[in-house]
Amino acid sequence: MKEEFYISLIGEAFDGYTENCLGDRAVYIKHVNIRDQRYLHKYYEKYKNKALSKGVETEEDRIKYVLKEDLWDEKDDMKIQSLDLEITNLKRTVNQLLLGSQREQYRETINEKTQELISLKLKRKEVIGKTAEDYATARSGDELLRFLLFKNKELTEHLFTEEEFDDLEGWEISALTEMHSDIQRRLGDETIQKAVLRPFFSMYLSLCEDAYGFYQKPITELTIYQLRVVLFGKMFFNIFQFTDDIPDNIRDDPEKLLAYSESKRNNSSNPIRDDAAGSVVFGATDQDVKELGGTSGGVSLSEEAKKHGGTLDMEQMMRLAGHDV
């Protein structure tokens, strides 16, 4: 994406709102802060209790029912729990891996497992049907949306009263919901991380240590996006300060930078000497060797073994690794 996109994104986060249009009228959508989040919980509980009072069952009760009536296979339910745990463990492991190529293989596995989990959850959802939680999520989302809509950029006058909001056409509700969803997508963690690593933000990284000094506002008044800007800025500033030999080609890639920093912490001593053959680290690619601070173009163990009758003894292995023996 172009630099202008990330500059605009950070500016939007600083403003604390997003300006848009509904038909021919301006709409200002407030970004949520920690105080606003309590309203979402309040609305959720309100509508969940309303659904329960009308006889709508909870998700837990529906799952018990479909399992009891053999409408849903218990093995599939156990598979969902197993995949949830497996994905959590894989995500924990991937940041501890030394080699970038291995991390990429793990990410592919995580993506495959995640797709399988999503598919199973969708199938289960079709079986159990609507629940009290579904109703509460939908209605509380609508009510929070009305709460976040304003007529002016000062965010002092709501766009709709409760009655006016209830009278909106379906297309208007859908358009407003999509606007809010678009904000959440554009200001997601990954995009903000990329933005704070862009050259234009580099002069601000050290200032992210002090959130109040950065915004001149108490933390309780900061939006979740403003908090993420300083959080990620501080995180990456510390990585640049305390992580040695960061390859230039990953300095603006948040995923690779975080993985590299984690691997350096888990492997405090560099396993490759400058004069070592890169392939001594089993499975290492040339790019892995560069990221680890060694030199690329290392010979493969299998090729070296052929030169010595098919096997390598300990002395030969140590020489390949750059050790004097």
- Are 155 and 285 found together in one domain? no
- Evaluate whether residue 61 is within a structural domain: yes
Whether residue 173 is found in the same domain as residue 111 = yes
Tens-digit pLDDT profile for residues 243-291: 888 888 889 999 888 888 877 776 654 444 444 444 445 555 666 555 5
Q: How far is 115 from 111, CA to CA, in rounded Å?
A: 6
Same domain flag for 222 and 286? no
What does each C-alpha distance from 57 to 53, 164, 311, 322 come to in angstroms? 10, 31, 66, 67
Phi, psi dihedrals of residue 204, rounded to the nearest 5°: -95, -10
Tell me which residue of 200, 73, 210 sits closest to 128, measured CA to CA.
73
User: Which of 138, 171, 186 represents a domain boundary (last residue)?
Assistant: 186
CA 118 to chain centroid: 17
Domain stops at, among 163, 186, 209: 186
* 288 and 209 in a common domain: no
With respect to residue 5, please indicate whether it lies within any of the assigned structural domains.
no
The rounded average pLDDT for each run of 10 residues, N- to C-terminus, in the chain (325 residues) is: 90 95 90 83 89 94 91 90 93 73 84 94 93 90 88 93 88 89 94 95 92 90 95 95 88 88 68 47 57 52 60 58 53
Q: Where does the chain show beta strands of DSSP type E?
A: 17-22, 25-30, 149-150
For residues 119 and 243, state if they share a domain: no
pTM of the predicted structure, to 2 decimals = 0.69
* Count of domains forming the chain: 3
Same domain, 31 and 84: yes
pLDDT attached to residue 294: 52
Domain check: are 170 and 121 in the same one? yes
Domain identity same for 49 and 174: yes
Q: Are residues 150 and 249 in the same domain?
A: no
In order of 39, 261, 310, 314, the CA distances from 317 in angstroms are: 64, 28, 13, 5
Domain that holds residue 309: 278-320
pLDDT at 220: 86
